Amino acid sequence: MFVPSILHHSSCLFECESHVPQTFGVLCWNVHKNNCKNSALKKYLLKKENTYDFMLFQEASFRDNQHFTLPNFAFDAAANLEIKGRFYGVLTASKAASQHANAYLSEGRESLWGPHKSLLVSHYRFDDGTPLLILNVHAINFRENQGYNRELERFLTLMQDHEGAMIVAGDFNTWNKVRMQKLHLLRQKLNLHSVPFEQDDHIKSFMGNHLDFIFYRGLELQAYSSEKVPSLSDHNPLFATFKKVNEEG
């Protein structure tokens, strides 16, 4: 597989908000490349757009200078695949425009001949000027544990100098205990909390191990849930509402 001709994509076709509200909602979902071709999934997302300020997608389909299904959201995206002029990868849709964003490809590939995976680091600001960083992840899958560990160490390198509120979320492909242990070691190094989804919360799992997570710091978790929608994707969406923690707190 070839590296995409454009790695970082962005679009805002309306007057974007300039700041993230103090309380905001996040949706995180591996949409299995269905966002543009599944009309039922489009309708589902449109029903959610008034509730959520950020929608973090993995395996999304997109093009520059086009709405990503949601006309009232801007987006930044990191492509890992390009097929006939359409791009696929991780995408962060937001009501507030990002201050800036950086797209990355994994160093390793999926198996010997497969594509790289992509990740996206997006920077936003609250109205008091303090930062919010969001890392949207689709972690490498079909590689040995050592290769997986190297990719997670790269996440740490990208994030460790950030001071302030942070969300790290996506499909981490943590399908064995070694991967899960490495992920939680990374979480601890970044002082992140995990949104506490339970085993019966419809989260995509393999051998009892969740694959999808939302981690956070510098924020107060207000509510969280998930929803079973097997007709729309092979993963189910995760939802969380956060409130910014004041510096005094």
Q: What is the DSSP string of 175-234?
A: -SHHHHHHHHHHHHHTT-EE----TTS---EETTEE-EEEEEESEEEEEEEE---TTT-S
Half-sphere exposure of 9 (CA within 13 A, CB side): 30
Note whether 152 and 183 are within 8 A (CB). yes
Higher pLDDT, 209 or 142: 209
Helix H or strand E encompassing 145? helix 145-159
Instruction: List the structure tokens of 177.
Output: 């205990």
Q: Residue 150 gets which letter from DSSP? A: H
Q: Is the pLDDT of residue 135 over 90?
A: yes
pLDDT for 219 beyond 50? yes
Residue 79 CB burial class (10 angstroms; 0-12, 13-18, ≥19): buried
> Can you read off the two tokens belonging to residue 242?
């956060």
Stretch 51-57: mean pLDDT, rounded? Answer: 96
In the chain, where the domains are located: 8-244
Q: What is the pLDDT of residues 86-118, one digit of tens each?
A: 899 999 999 999 999 999 998 878 766 778 889
Confidence of residue 247 (pLDDT cuts 50, 70, 90): low
Range from 24-33, 34-43, 102-111, 143-152 that averages highest in pLDDT:
24-33
CATH topology of domain 8-244: Deoxyribonuclease I; Chain A (3.60.10)
pLDDT, tens only, 172-193: 999 899 999 999 999 999 999 9
